Amino acid sequence: MNHKRVTIAAVSVVAILVSACGSGTATPAAPGAAGSPAAGMPTLAFIAQMQNPSQAFSWKMYQKNAAKYGFNVINLDNGGDVQKQTAAINNAVAQKVAAIAINPVDEAGYVPATTAAMSGGVVVCLSMVPPAAAAINASTCSVSVDDILGGQTAAKAIMAAFPNGATGVEIGGQAGHVAANNRHEGFSKAVAGTNIKVLDYKNPTAWDTAQAQAIANDMITKYGDKIQFIFCHWDNGATGVINALKAVNQPWANKVLIIGVDGNKTGFAQVQSWPNYISIAQNAETITSKVMEQSMKWIKKDSSAVKANIIPFDVITKDTIANFTAPEW
């Protein structure tokens, strides 16, 4: 039986090519939801930062499809804090869950607690992020987009838009978050040695729109019309970028190419409203469904279980947006 093979789904690339995050209090699925408790079904605990819209929507998708994959589901909020996350993991283990789906606060803070959970027989699957290189053995499986590829895709979009070269800035995601680290790695390596020059790069302390706007304001003050593009690691953060550019009230600011990641309803709206916006979309329902599918396979020791599962991006531009349905989150 081979549970160590890696399946990489083909990544969609279209025209212009162009992941994220308590008290540990368990919240059962809403009455009447697909994941409502049923006798004899194993329980999966979803642990994430529930103030993050992508994770709140992910929780809805876990509830919607839980019964299809044979699970009861509960939710424990990590509050964006490593200690609360550890408490949530320990809480889930104490409740004798069969599986934990986790969107972790950072690359390694969860490792001791999930390693202990796995030693007790709990399946642990990372939801929407891959493991860091030093944390491969701290989860049973993972389901995610390839955020390194996401950064590379943003770089390719900029190169396509500015074949003669351009200067701009990068506003990262939450400092230390694996998705932010990987998006930066892919982007920075892709533009290295090209005629695309990054004038500045800074991370906020959280996936917070106001913090992204403050960073954009500082960069605009410092670099002005040298900014031809802004790569912001998430669409809601790019809302702050747009606010900052609108406040400039000069023609050059309205021409800045903005690229965000997530493909949420904000991203869809910004593709339509901003003159030059691209959103890299990760499908939360596809990801959460795959987490549950793979978790059940690992519980059953199914030989077809896969450790690393990569879900393709959808690339949303003015030319492609009509091909997609805008998500709820």
Collapsing DSSP states into helix, strand and coil, what is residue 313?
coil
Q: What is the pLDDT of residue 40?
A: 84
Per DSSP, helices labelled H in 95-139 are: 111-119
Render pLDDT for 64-74 as a digit per residue (tens, 0 to 9). Answer: 999 999 999 99
Residue 35, pLDDT above cutoff 70: no
pLDDT digits (tens, 9 = 90+) for 37-71: 456 899 999 999 999 888 999 999 999 999 999 99
Has residue 8 got a pLDDT over 70? no
pLDDT (0 to 100) of residue 39: 61
Whether the model pTM is above 0.85:
no
Write the pLDDT tens digit of every residue in 75-108: 999 999 999 999 999 999 999 999 999 999 998 9
> Where is 174: in which H helix or E strand?
none
* % of the chain residues with pLDDT over 70: 88
User: Stretch 300-307: mean pLDDT, rounded?
Assistant: 98
* Nearest residue to 29 via CA among 84, 67, 78: 67
> Is a pLDDT exceeding 70 seen at residue 292?
yes
- Domain 147-281, CATH number (from 3.90.1150.10, 2.40.128.50, 3.30.750.24, 3.40.50.2300): 3.40.50.2300
Distance CA 311, CA 315 (A): 13
Instruction: Quote the pLDDT of residue 328.
Output: 81
Domain 19-144+287-310: give its CATH architecture. 3-Layer(aba) Sandwich (3.40)
Q: What is the pLDDT of residues 208-255, one digit of tens each?
A: 999 999 999 999 999 999 999 999 999 999 999 999 999 999 999 999
Mean pLDDT lowest for which of 7-16, 152-161, 249-258, 316-325?
7-16
Write down the mean pLDDT value for the chain: 89
- Check for a shared fold between 19-144+287-310 and 147-281: yes
Beta-carbon contacts of 23 under 8 Å, excluding residues fewer than 6 positions away, are 77, 79, 84, 87, 88
Q: Average pLDDT, stretch 268-285?
A: 94
Secondary structure E strands in 6-117 = 6-8, 26-28, 43-48, 72-77, 99-102
Q: What is the pLDDT of residue 38?
A: 57
CA dihedral 75, 81, 86, 91 (to 10 degrees): -30
Q: Enumerate residues 6+ apart whose C-beta is below 8 A from 83.
A: none
Contacts of 10 (CB under 8 A, 6+ apart): 312
Res 4 pLDDT > 70: no
How many Cα atoms sit within 13 Å of 76 on the Cβ side?
A: 28
Domain ranges across the chain: 19-144+287-310, 147-281
